[in-house]
Every structure is written in C-alpha cells, then in structure tokens.
Structure 1
Amino acid sequence: MPKNQKIFSILENSLIALHGLIFILVIGQDYIQLPSFLEVFGRMHPLVLHFPIVMLFLAALLFWFPDAWGINSKVALKWLLLSALFFTGITVLAGLFLSVEDGYIKEDFENHQWTGLLVFWLGTSWYWFWVKEKLSIAKGLSLVVLALVLATGHLGASLTHGEDFLFSPLKSVEATPPVSFEEALAYDHVVKPILEQKCFSCHKAGKVKGGLRMDEIQYILKGGEMGPAIDMEDLENSQILVHILIPLEEEFHMPPKGKPQLTETELELIQSWILDSAHFDKKLTAYNPESEFFALAKEKFVSQESKSYTFKAANAKTIAELNNDYRKVAAIYPTSPGLRVTFFGKNQFDPKTIDDLKRIKEQIVELSFQNMPLKDDDLQKLTIFPNLEVLNLNFTGIEGNTLSELKKLKNLKHLSLSGNPLSKAAFESLKEFGQLKDLFVWTNKNSDAISMLKAALPNTKIEGGFQDDGTLYQLNPPQIESDKSIFTDKIEISLKHPIGSVKIFYTLDNTLPDSTNHLVYTEPIRLDKNVTLRARAFADGWLGSIEKQAVFFRSKIQPDKYELTFPPNPQYKGSGALTLFDLEKGDEDFASGKWLGFQDKPFEIQMDFNSPQSIKNIAFSTLAAEGSYIFPPSKVEVWIKTQNVDWRLIDSQIPDQPTKNRNRLLQMYESNINQSEVTAIKAKLTPVNPLPKWHPGAGAKGWVFIDEILIN
C-alpha cells in the first residue's frame, strides 16, 4: 500500500473511532466524572479549534476551485479534508469534556455544542460523498458545513465574550444616549460597566465559574460557592472584595492572571462602592459629596461627560505659583479649563489668601474651605468667582448671617454648610437660593427651619442630616495626628475630633479603650518608646466610635551590618534589607515599595554590631491583611550573640491568629532582650502555612509583610 494511502487509512479509521466515542459521550454527558488529566485536555478546546476552522475553509476553496492551485488537487484535498475532520473531532471531544466541568449551564451552551457536532458529522458526510464522487451532494454539504462553522463560532464567542459578540459590529443599533451625572445611578452607570468588561466573561449565563453569576443583580446578591458576592451584614468580607484584593500571583485572585486586570481606579471604585453599602438603585447625587466613592465616581463621570466651558484655560505657570503646602489648585478633570481649589492646614489658613485667586477667578468652578476658620464677613470675598458651581463651607464656623452675598453666584449649584452654627437669618437667606441643585445643612438644630427650607426650595435636594428623634448614632473615630510614626528620641501626638465636645479615650498598652479602661485625652501625648495607640470618641447621646489605631516606633540603635537569609518575593522586594532600617513607615498599601513580602520562605535576618551594644528590646513592624492572604506570622523568634556566649534563643512568640477577614492592620511584635555586650541579633518570622479552613484560600500559603526593625 502506498505511504499516502496508509496515512489516509489511519485518518479514516480515526474518524470512525472519534464518531463512536463522541456519540457515547453525547448520550452519557450528564453522568460523566472526568479524571483530572481529561479536564486538562478539555481546557485545550479553545486552543485546537482554530486548526479545523482554517483547514475546512482551505479544503472548501480547493474543492470548489480545483484547477486554480496548479497542484494535484485531489491528493491535497484529501489531506486537507481528512486532517480538518480529525482536528474537528478532537475539538468536539475536548469541548464535551470541558462542558462537564462545573461552572457551565447546559441550556446556555447546548446550541454551540450541537452546531459543533453537526460540523463534524456533516463534514464527514461531505468527505464520504466526495470520495464516492457524488459531487452535487458533496457541494451542498460543503456550503452547509461552512455556514455551521460560522454559526458555531458565533455561539462560542457569545459564551466567552458576551451575547452576539461576532456579529454585533454589523448591526446598526442606535447609540444609547449618555446619561447626565445628575441622573446617573451608582451601579448601572459606574460599577456595572467595570463588571461587564472584567467579570462577566466568567460569571454570566452559560459560564458560572465558582457558582457565581454577576450579570444580574439577583445573582450577585445570591453569591456563589465561596459565599455572598456582597455580604450586606459584613461588607468588608464580601467575596468580590476578598478576591480582587488578593495578590495577582495567588490562585484565587480575580480577574484571573492572564485576563484584563482592574485598573487602580476601577478597584478603588468597586471597593468604595461596596463599603458604602453597595447601593444598586442609588443616584450618584444622593451620596455624601465627601465620600470616597462620590469623589471617584464624579471624577470618572465628569471626565466622560467632558463638560465644556466658554472661558479659556488659566496659564499653567500661574496655577503652579498658586499651589503651595496649604492650597491645591488643579483641573476638575484632565484637559478641562475648570479648576478646583482646596485649602488645607487650619492653623495656617488666612482668609486674605482668597485674594490670591483673583488671577484665576474666571476658571474656578469648585472651592473647598472645609475645616478652615472663616468669618461671615469673608463670604463677600467669594462673590468674585463668576463660574463657581460647587462651594464647600463645612465646619468653617460661620453663622451664615451674610449668606445672601452668595446669591451673586448665578452658577452656584452645590452648597455644603454642614457642621456650622447656622443662624435663623441664614435659613431665611437660603430660601432665595432657588438655583441650587444640592444643599447640605447637616445639623442637630433648627429642624423646623430645615423643614421650611425644603418647602421653599422644592427643586433643591436638601440633606438635613441628623435629626434628634431619640435614636442613638455612632460617632466617627478620632483623628491621630503626628509628624511621623518612627522616631529616634521622643515624639508628640495629638488627638482630634470634628465635634469639639466629645471626650477622647485612649490607651497605650494595646488594649481597647472603653469606660473602664482608658486615659482621657487633654493635651498632646509624648512618647519615648514603642507604643500601639488606640483611641475612641465618646459623647452623651451618641454611641461610642469605633477605634482608631496607630503604631509608633522608637529606633535608637542601628546595626552596622545586616543580611537576609532568604530574599523577599520579587514583587514585594522594596529596597531589600535596607527597607528595614530606612525609618520610613509603610502604610496599608503593601505594594507601595516600602514593604518586604515573604511567602515560600520565612523572613530571617542577621544583624551585626561592630562594637558590643546594651540592648533593651527589638520590635518588628508588620502588616495584616487577611483578605490579601497577609497574616500575622505563625511564629516570631529572636536569638542573640554576645562577646562571651554564642547564639542562644532569647524569645519565641506564637501570635494570635484571626478568625475572619479584618480591616488592614499595622501591627508590632516586640521582644525584650535586656542584655549587654550584644554583638549580633538573629530574627525569624514564619508565614502561616496552610491558611485556616475559614479563609477562601484555605490550604494555600500565607504571607508575612515587614517594613521596619526597631532596636532600642
């Protein structure tokens, strides 16, 4: 038998075997349990499907135009058609294996499956009728097969990329008119477009990875195999948040590695939306203008609207000259001539500096004086800005007796007056501000005046905030202010709260401050040692605040030499061991370059001193972010070496481990040494392995993140 004929015979027999196997699989598809190696083969379906598509079209060209190629078309066609059908069978077989995996709903992919099967079956019939020289039937079948290839591709693309992906560019659909910022919904117009681009391809009808669908609100609320996608009772542990915050290289990070990732802005938008109670039907204008989600959404939305102004942009040099440590001048969005001005530094603020802005008075559309000490007479200075649209006067201390001056601002649409002791005259003046779209006058006084104001301004959305109906509300936590968190000798720390009448309780021993365990803040706190400061605000008629926590480190002794036993993970390598002694404290962003991350190997370091040292203690500054697989170390060990004694273990700690995901925490582990003539110290922090059963990544390796070592 000629060599070609032998190969053709093998391919023909392979086709018969594939038909038989595929027929059995189609019948018993719902009862199959695949071994793992066949799951791998099934996932090759998208890889191999391109071979038969190209070959079938080439075979059709050769079949319909045999004389145009200048070759032995019959042998070439036999090669092409048999090879195409063989790979078609392999593709169909892989597709059947893939469909058995969890995450696919049969009703949603069965049309794709059946058109693929018809391509294989009718393609084989095409070959058989051609071999039997029944050309008229073969020609008809070739056209049907090619049409089915297109239909199968269209249905498969719709499964992977969304409905009607293949042919949508050919359809003439009227463009959806853009919605205005005032009418935009937080979910529909800000969050959902992100999910459509980055999440729907794996979590929609027909492809429900992890049992989770995200293409409809009811499925998002229902959640998947790992729990609620959005947990309304524990927003921080919503599975969407957990998985988008997991490091990229981890198995459970979403979107998966290799898929388009969330941008930093997209991640912040989703995170702030969920933490703000994940409203699905709330307008953007209903959010507190000071909230993180509102600020992010507005910036994104306004940049899309690209609002145009008739005035020219200010000179870049002028803007640069007006920027300083206590005032920021910036465009409201890139390329816009409209400017936003924000003042900072309450103690350094001088109302006279408002006059500096005359140089850009035409371009200023947003002004924020929040927390700046203004007087009623200063409001007259604000009337020089003809295009001002947004004015923030929250907590400025004004009584509002001269608010009528602001009526000169014909373009003013959003006015914030929360936290001020507004007088009766102020409310009378506000009744004449009919041009306002939003007015914020949060106060626990003048509730009758606010009601009358709402009646006088029916077209203005008025937020009156807190009304004392006997319900107790929780205070915001106090603010902890200091120049730095690492010091060499002493440091002074201030505690503040926007409501001046509250009492601030604090502790310095890492215990929770409450009514029986606290110090009362009266003046700046002076520290000369490592301390975890925890503070809460209390006031009559309010619930005590959640705690605010900060860690302060004293670092008086620096090693002369230091070396890591194992290098940190390349993605979180900072500046190597130098990161641990640069006196620059990392924040909650573990990807900032100020942290060293260890997972496969423990953090282990040796520190040497040229001359013997008297050492009291050593402390390690770490991060805990369980949602991102970053846990407290499973063990902290410290050894010392002295002039007279070789290495000996001086301290071994087993830190407490969390029982659920928490907010990101800066933590400190301190070991007492109290030893003279120390020539070297060795420390080891071991990552948790495996992660506990309650965690979404149970069984995986945890991380240890460290940014500073402090020796005193």
Structure 2
Amino acid sequence: MPLRVRAWTLVAGLISIFLLVMLLLYAPPDGQERAEFAQFLGRFHPLIVHIPIALLLLVPILECAGIIRGHLRQAAGFVLALAATAAITAALFGWLLAWSGGFEGSLVIRHMWGGVSLAAACVACWGLYGWNRRAYAAALVMTIGLLIWTSDQGGKLTHGRTFLTERMPQPLRRWFGVERKVTIDPTSFYAVRVQPIFDQKCVLCHNDEKFKGKLRLDSYEHVMLGGKDGRVVSPGELGKSEMYRRITLPPDSKDFMPAEGKPSLSPEETKIIEVWITAGATIRIPEEATRGLPQSTEEKRVALPLTADYRPQWKTITALEASTGIRIVPRSQNPTDGLILRTVTAPERCTDATLAQLAPVGNLIVDAELA
C-alpha cells in the first residue's frame, strides 16, 4: 500500500476513535429510550460485533501460517485493516444501542469502553504492521487479550454474569476460585443451625478480607468450595471431611480449629456439624437426620402457617369472584398466609346470602376490607 494512502487511512482510524471516545464521554447511556430508528440501527450491534472478532482471531493464524507460506503473512495486513474497520463500526453501533435503548450500568460502560479500546488497539496494530515487527507482535497479543476481556463483558450483558461459570465442574471452581451462587432459605437447617456456628467461631479468620489457607466460611458457596488444599467438607463422608477432623482434634494439636486460642466449638455445635455433613451437607437436610438435636431459638420462632395452601382452590376462588362480584385476593406471596375478602368496590353485593356462597373457601379467608 502506498505510504500516503496508508497514512491517510491511519489518520481516518484515529479520528474515528477520537469521535467514539467523545460519544462515550459526552453522550453516555443514561437509561433513557430514544428514537426508534436509532434503536433499530443499534440492534444490528449483536450481528456486527462478531465480524471483528472473527477477523481479529484470523490475523495470528495467518501470521503463524506465514512462516511457511509468506504470502499468507501479507494477507494478515489486509485482514487486520478489515478488523479495525469492523471494530470501529461495531463500537459505534454498540454505543447507538446503549444510548438509545435505555441501557445503563457499570457493566454496560465497561463493555463500551472495552469495545472502543479494542478498536483503538486494532488501529494501532495496523499502524505497526510492516513497520516494527516486535512492537506489532506485542500489540497483537495485547489486542487479543483485550478482545477476550471485552467479549466476556458482552457475554455477561447478554447471558448474565454467571453464564460461563454456573455449570463449571467443582474441580475447576476450586482451581479458579469461582463460587457457586446458591439461594439460601433463611429457615433452612444450614441457615439456622450451621452458618451461625461458622459466623461465631470461624469467620473471624476465614472471611472475604482474611482467609487463612484460602478458605472462606462466610457463605455456603465458599464452605463447599474449600481452600488451597481442596475440599474441607465431603458431603456424606464424615471421615473424609477435613473440617470435622480439625474441630474434633485435641485442643493442643497444631491442626486443631479454631486456632490461636479462640473459643472452640461446644459439643452441641460439633454434633450439628457432624449431623449436617453426614446428611449430605446440603442447605436442607432430611428431618429424621435432625432428631435428637435440641431446637434452636430461631427454629422456635418460625411462624406456623395461617391457613392451608390456597392454590389448589384457585379455580373455585375465581368462580366465586365471577358469581358474587366480590374480590378475593392473596394476603401475600406466601400461599399459606391466607386470603383477603374485599367488598369495597361492590358493597351492595355483600349480603348474607353472598357470604354464604363463600363457605367453600371460608377457612382460607383471614382478613376483610369492607365498605
């Protein structure tokens, strides 16, 4: 390519990058939806974005193949120019999508800056191509790394933050230190009986800021993840659970936990850990496994259901609403919290005869809002 054409092409690329930076600085996405035509154009971003990815990944392949066949290395420059053009276009359409489509948030901003940075890196690689091989090679490696990071941010936007890791095998989780997000029922055996023990006796040395042996015990996910030496809990296998071994050692043993003179677990607390591990170390364990354990204060406070579950009667409830004109609505999202009878919208219909029709669901009604 003639030097003058190459120079003007490089200048055009740099101007494009400058304009993209200005757009991100002075017109960032703010959660507001704008013109439909802008949204229409922006929605081509998920299609366009794959083009620079494919082209950019092709460049190092051509470079390596060019060691044997020199003409392939020459093709790498042309492919790199296409990749830079496609990256600039994808970044522009990405900004258009975020700015007009009502997007906002730190993840969106990171992905956008990643896209613009990637476009700039492609332009830089193209500028170095054929001029300084070492600098070009280093820039290309960094550009591929930036491509991977930016693609990861985009994947999190599209599929969620845990899409890549939610099915990751446990050995890989331990290797990369990835925790599995688990929803903990606050009334479960683990939440009521097990985690409080860790909080009182273990978390001081095994938390998110101070985790001895790379072990955290401040959440179920981290407990099951283990530490630098692997698992500390082997579900259903008490003899293979390092945690249980350590809390049952003689207090003067160097491996005894909790260490450093901190209060040790009481016999009751040790028994709770034993029962939990033996039963499978799950969040909820079979009720028969807990027999013989004294009730905790939290368990005694668990409220009994107000009524039976109303959901099996929902067709009957709907039919009664239609025939009587009276509203019967759930008291809360908990199906055992009962129903509310509302007559405010039709007080004239609330007669003794009407109320008698509600007898089939009368045991489910716990409150009334009368006119």
Answer 1 or 2: which has greater strand percent: 1
TM-score w.r.t. the length of structure 2 is 0.46
Answer 1 or 2: which has greater helix percent: 2
TM-score w.r.t. the length of structure 1 is 0.27
Query: Larger Rg: 1 or 2?
Result: 1
- Structure scoring higher RCO (CA < 8 A, sep ≥ 6) equals 2
